[in-house]
């Protein structure tokens, strides 16, 4: 079966009905109907060492996602009995509760629709991460190979930064909030007109009309620094 073209950044998350460890759900409505963002992440298989460390970390930082009004939902090509058994193993042996649902996708239908099968494996999903806002728009996508576990703090940093971009209208520099040039300030978008360009350096600090920055609210910086590398 061929893989469908994956949805792109800026497109709406496709409407799908899924079977999960929390029952049947409709995406993206399950989250967006409550005004929530969500992160959907795939993993290659249950009962594997890297995936187990990831699920521990996602569960550990689940309260941080909740503070950002962001839900989590996992996915693999395993069935629900496998998911349930694995979650029970994690809770019993690693002493942490997995609080979010996991999609059972044994036929790979959802995974193909989201472009989660890559050349590395025809049968296991790579470690994909979809960031979806409260309007069901895909805001970012990250892929990792099978053998590399994800940095969950970085996923939190992306969510926090995207939400701050929406709130302020600014844009974020590399490694924000620890940028080597502007520190924890945010950048201004490039001016759209001559008049706007001529005013930039009178309104903001900067190096040139196209490279200016603004101070970020302290509480946002402090929260983001908890997730920064």
Helix (H, G, I), strand (E, B) or coil at 191: coil
Active-site residue, selected from the candidate residues 6, 19, 40, 51: 51
| C-alpha to C-alpha distance for 64 and 94, rounded to whole angstroms | 20
| C-alpha to C-alpha distance for 207 and 172, rounded to whole angstroms | 16
Q: Where are the alpha helices (DSSP H) in the chain?
A: 29-32, 49-60, 62-67, 80-93, 109-113, 152-168, 194-203, 218-225
| C-alpha to C-alpha distance for 184 and 195, rounded to whole angstroms | 28
Active site residue 51: yes
Q: Which pair of tokens denotes residue 130?
A: 């979809």
| C-alpha to C-alpha distances, 22 to 100, 108, 138, nearest whole angstrom | 8, 19, 23
| C-alpha to C-alpha distances, 1 to 4, 81, 128, 181, nearest whole angstrom | 9, 25, 20, 48
Are the C-beta atoms of residues 105 and 21 closer than 8 Å to each other? no
Catalytic residue ranges: 51
């Amino acid at each position: 079966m061929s893989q469908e073209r994956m949805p792109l950044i800026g497109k709406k998350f496709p409407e799908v009905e899924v079977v999960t460890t929390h029952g049947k759900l409709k995406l993206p409505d399950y989250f967006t109907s409550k005004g929530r963002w969500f992160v959907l992440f795939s993993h290659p298989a249950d009962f594997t060492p890297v995936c187990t460390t990831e699920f521990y970390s996602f569960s550990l930082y689940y309260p941080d996602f909740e503070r950002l009004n962001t839900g989590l939902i996992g996915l693999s090509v395993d069935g629900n009995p496998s998911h349930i058994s694995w979650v029970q193993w994690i809770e019993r042996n690693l002493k942490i509760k997995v609080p979010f649902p996991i999609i059972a996708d044994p036929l790979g239908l959802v995974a193909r629709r989201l472009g989660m099968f890559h050349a590395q494996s025809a049968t296991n999903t790579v470690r994909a991460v979809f960031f979806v806002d409260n309007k069901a728009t895909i805001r970012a996508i990250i892929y990792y190979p099978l053998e590399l576990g994800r940095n969950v703090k970085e996923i939190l940093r992306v969510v926090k930064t995207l939400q701050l971009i929406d709130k302020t209208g600014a844009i974020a520099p590399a490694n924000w909030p620890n940028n080597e040039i502007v520190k924890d300030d945010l950048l201004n978008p490039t001016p759209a007109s001559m008049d706007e360009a001529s005013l930039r350096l009178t309104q903001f600090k900067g190096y040139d009309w196209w490279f200016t920055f603004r101070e970020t609210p302290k509480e946002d910086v402090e929260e983001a620094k908890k997730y920064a590398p």
